[in-house]
Amino acid sequence: MGGGRRSTNRMVEKVNNRWEVCVSLSEGQFQQVSFVNGISTIKGGTHVDYVTNQITNHVMATVNKKNKNANVKAHNVKNHLWVFVNALIDNPAFDSQTKETLTLRQSSFGSKCELSDEFMKKVIKSGIMESLLSWADFKQRKELKKTDGTKTTKIQVEKLEDANDAGGRNSDKCTLILTEGDSAKALAMAGLSVVGRDHYGVFPLRGKLLNVREATHTQIMNNKEIENIKRILGLQQNKQYDSVKSLRYGHMMIMTDQDHDGSHIKGLLINFIHSFWPSLLKVPSFMVEFITPIVKATHKNGTVLPFYSMPEYESWKESIGGSASGWSIKYYKGLGTSTSKEGKEYFANLDMHKKDFVWRDEQDGEAIELAFSKKKIEARKHWLRQFEPGTHLDQKEKLIKYSDFVNKELILFSMADLQRSIPSMVDGLKPGQRKILSCSFKRNFVKEAKVAQFSGYVSEHSAYHHGEQSLASTIIGMAQSYVGSNNISLLQPNRQFGTRNMGGKDHASARYLYTQLSPITRFLFPRDDDRLLNYLSEDGQTIEPSWYMPIIPTVVRELGLGGALTSLIIIQEI
């Protein structure tokens, strides 16, 4: 039985006096040997299906639980099985006189064959799970190869401004500039008028790249942006790269905003390459970044000081005693804030703005995995707890270790993400919500106004550096009052602010919605307390306080979810 298979690969169980089962592994095709009342059913039948379905369903569930991306189906498991069934069945019915296939329904067998948990554990430990995971990995890699790029001089990708020498004999000298959106692409194109089009290409990214480390195979296959990057660079799945000679571009330059979200986009691109082609990160100068100032301080005597991170700018402000008199401060929210003239200046001094990422040792790979792998959640919590305010990359350095990027720049995004995702225990507000509440009090917001107009007011009076669309969404969220939204709405939902059925997503557009302060809000945050609060200041403008001091713990209003932490408030009677 089994054609010479080792006995250790066979799992045998005598379920009862009427059923005996043996299972072993098959080489990619289902095989069975079965008997009904001593008659050999060479083509199987319902009795074999009855036993096999129990095994395949259990193995399928276990494999997919082990690897959610495996997407193994029951028929895939069946193709890896060899099954023996010996059964005694009441009044069996066959498909023909030769009795090759049992056709009797399971309910008429006259007995049951329920395989034990112990037997199922033996099947799992037989090596079938490893075989299926290996098969699933091979299949996924084969499918991903369909989106591979090749080293060719001409390709058609929407919005790509290809370098003249890309894919040619000088391709190793070419640099692909990946920008954060179309406005950043316009800035890069202005810069190309300085450095030329022969060795520089530009491709705009649409927001944040997929975290491929935690994405499903289907998500990766259907992601057009990943496919485009592979085609533009000429990347081939499963290939080990020790040089860039076989690629269309020899360098990949990341050009994003200098804010926290820009750091996240850099991290996601590094994570993408590390997940599929880790050897490429070890190739000198393959991965580079282009940095631009996030703040420029211009003195009335003409002196211009650029700052490439907020901690660097804050440190300078402290060094001059917090007084910026005589200095004009300009905050560059995005690359679109820079003029074409500034873009040309940046590229004219390319060496000053270009930084090379370097791989020193395995700590670099561990740092990347720490930042993006779900398996590292506990380690990521510890990483965040070790954060020290003022941490930032020294932008004077020409070479940046991947571990330094993660621990000194990407961590700033993670901390900012937590701060804007999880409410403060003091007043129950996130930073954006606190800005909105502060402006509501400043405006004495007792007469209703359009959400779209109020978001503009908040942006102007609170030094809000993100998009007004995001601000409008926060205002709408603070006003929603359906069951499951806010326990207490600080703003009134005048018009259609969404329903419980759609989780609030069915709200009207911000230009049609009106809101104002809820009557209860000033009871929770008394006006007499306003003068006692510690107000923040930015660019010489007084903005919201560090936090408010409500008369009851308003943190019970809502919950939050961040990158590695979540808040869960157990509400008791107050």
Question: Annotated active-site positions, please?
Answer: 512
**Residue 78 and residue 275: Cα distance in Å, rounded?**
31
Residue with tokens 């199922």: 120
Contact, 41 vs 48, CB < 8 A?
yes
Place of tokens 């009207």: 508
- Main-chain dihedrals φ then ψ at residue 80, nearest 5 degrees: -105, 10
The answer to whether 232 touches 161, Cβ cutoff 8 Å, is no
- 405 to 96, 233, 251, 568: CA distances (angstroms): 72, 23, 18, 31
At residue 221, the 3 state secondary structure works out as helix
Residues 199, 170 contacting (CB under 8 angstroms): yes
Residue 300 is classified by DSSP as T
Q: What string of DSSP letters covers 436-480?
A: HHHHHHHHT--S-EEHHHHHHHHHHHTT--S-HHHHHHHHHHHH-
Reported residue count of the chain is 574
- Of the CA atoms within 13 Å of residue 47, those in its CB half-sphere come to 36
Burial class (CB in 10 A: 0-12, 13-18, 19+), 228: buried
Based on the number of CB atoms within 10 Å of its own CB, is 260 exposed (0-12), middle (13-18) or buried (19 or more)?
buried
Q: Of 151, 138, 368, nearest to 238 (Cα)?
A: 138
Q: What is the C-alpha end-to-end distance of the chain, expressed in Å?
A: 72
**Distance of alpha carbon 111 from alpha carbon 119, whole angstroms:** 19
Q: Are 59 and 132 in contact (CB under 8 A)?
A: yes
Helices vs strands, H then E, count in the chain: 19, 18
DSSP state of 533: S
Q: Calculate helix-pair angle for 468-479, 451-461, nearest 10 degrees.
A: 120
Amino acid at 459: S
| Residue whose tokens read 């095709």 | 29
